[in-house]
């Protein structure tokens, strides 16, 4: 089905129109603090199926359900542990997704027929207003073709999905710029399935006094337990190679194709994108820079990651998968 995709303002009328479309079973893209999501009524199987069709997303890959506040979680989760309550108090609204045992309210396509569900309370004012105005949960993966670079502006969404979705709310650039941290909570085991701006250390700090350990998923599996767990993801169409700073000169000198460079310092080549040195700034600009480099007409993109340290794990995860 072909649409004339509406570009809605981030105001009360835009929210009203978006809710109207969601109630009609249509897809609406909207900004969160992380990236733009492509939303559907999480209780409407037909609407959720459209997400998979539009994105080219493999069936069975679970989606995250966005809700208005912590109290709404109890409609979707059949069990909320002490650890989950502590993390919700500390990080919601915000860029944290918790995977919890589910109720039967959700459309089975959202969870891939699993017994759990990924839930998030977004902090972006537009996402919060949309979730608060919509009587239900909004299933929303990133608003782009599956495996490609995630969108952090409304124009990115239109570049990928114009004519394929009913509307996008233009809420400006996303503040965080990379997807939420995903944690799975089973009994007293807490596993980070996807790193994000909320780090393992930050999670552990808020769980002081709780009989629970925070671990990191050891390896990727054939069956995705959460969004973003594929080996290759977030990728531009132009081949991407991650290069450490000391190796960059040699790689550039030996190249036999045209290059673009993305690095947290100036490089004497064109085109070159100079990234912020701090991890948060680097993350915020990562996807928009990958998209710009992808459009530059070069045959290969070289990217130098930020210095390793607290918070860099999530950025390195995205770069590694984009270069896979």
The dihedrals phi and psi of 201, each to the nearest 5 degrees, come to -65, -45
| pLDDT beneath 70, residues of the chain | 1, 211-213, 217-233
Q: CA-CA distance, 148 to 50, in Å (whole number)?
A: 18
Domain boundaries, given as residue ranges, for the chain: 6-177, 240-322
Q: What is 6-177's CATH topology?
A: DHBP synthase (3.90.870)
Query: Which pLDDT score, from 0 to 100, does residue 177 have?
Result: 97
Give residue 84's pLDDT: 93
Say what the pLDDT of residue 221 is: 46
Q: For residue 232, what pLDDT is reported?
A: 54
What class, spelled out in words, does domain 240-322 have in CATH? alpha beta
In percent, the amount of the chain with pLDDT more than 70 equals 94
Torsion of Cα atoms, 105 then 107 then 108 then 109, to 10°:
-160
pLDDT at 215: 80
């Amino acid at each position: 089905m072909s649409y004339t995709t509406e570009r809605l303002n981030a105001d009360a009328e835009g929210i009203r129109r978006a809710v109207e479309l969601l109630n009609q079973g249509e897809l609406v893209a909207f900004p969160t603090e992380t990236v733009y999501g492509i939303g559907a009524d999480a209780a409407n199987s037909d609407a959720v199926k459209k997400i998979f069709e539009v994105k080219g997303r493999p069936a069975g890959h679970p989606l995250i359900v966005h809700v208005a506040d912590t109290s709404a979680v109890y409609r979707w989760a059949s069990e909320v542990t002490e650890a989950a309550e502590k993390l919700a108090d500390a990080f919601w609204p915000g860029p944290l997704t918790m995977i919890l045992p589910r109720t039967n309210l959700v459309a089975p396509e959202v969870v891939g027929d699993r017994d759990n569900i990924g839930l998030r309370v977004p902090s972006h004012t537009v996402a919060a207003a949309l979730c608060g105005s919509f009587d239900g949960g909004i299933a929303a993966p990133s608003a782009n073709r599956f495996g490609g670079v995630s969108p952090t502006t409304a124009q990115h969404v239109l570049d990928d999905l114009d004519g394929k979705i009913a509307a996008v709310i233009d809420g400006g650039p996303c503040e965080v710029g990379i997807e939420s941290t995903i944690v799975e909570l089973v009994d007293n085991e807490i596993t980070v399935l996807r790193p994000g701006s909320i780090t393992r250390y930050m999670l552990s700090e808020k769980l002081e006094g709780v009989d629970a350990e925070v671990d990191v998923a050891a390896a990727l599996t054939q069956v995705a337990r959460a969004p973003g767990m594929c080996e290759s993801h977030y990728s531009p169409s132009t081949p991407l190679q991650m290069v450490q700073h000391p190796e960059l000169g040699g790689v550039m000198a030996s190249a036999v194709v045209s290059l673009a460079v993305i690095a947290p310092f100036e490089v004497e080549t064109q085109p070159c994108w100079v990234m912020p040195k701090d991890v948060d700034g680097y993350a915020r600009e990562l996807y928009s820079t990958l998209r710009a480099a992808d459009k530059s007409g070069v045959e290969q993109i070289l990217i130098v990651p930020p210095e390793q340290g607290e918070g860099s794990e999530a950025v390195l995860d995205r770069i590694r998968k984009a270069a896979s």
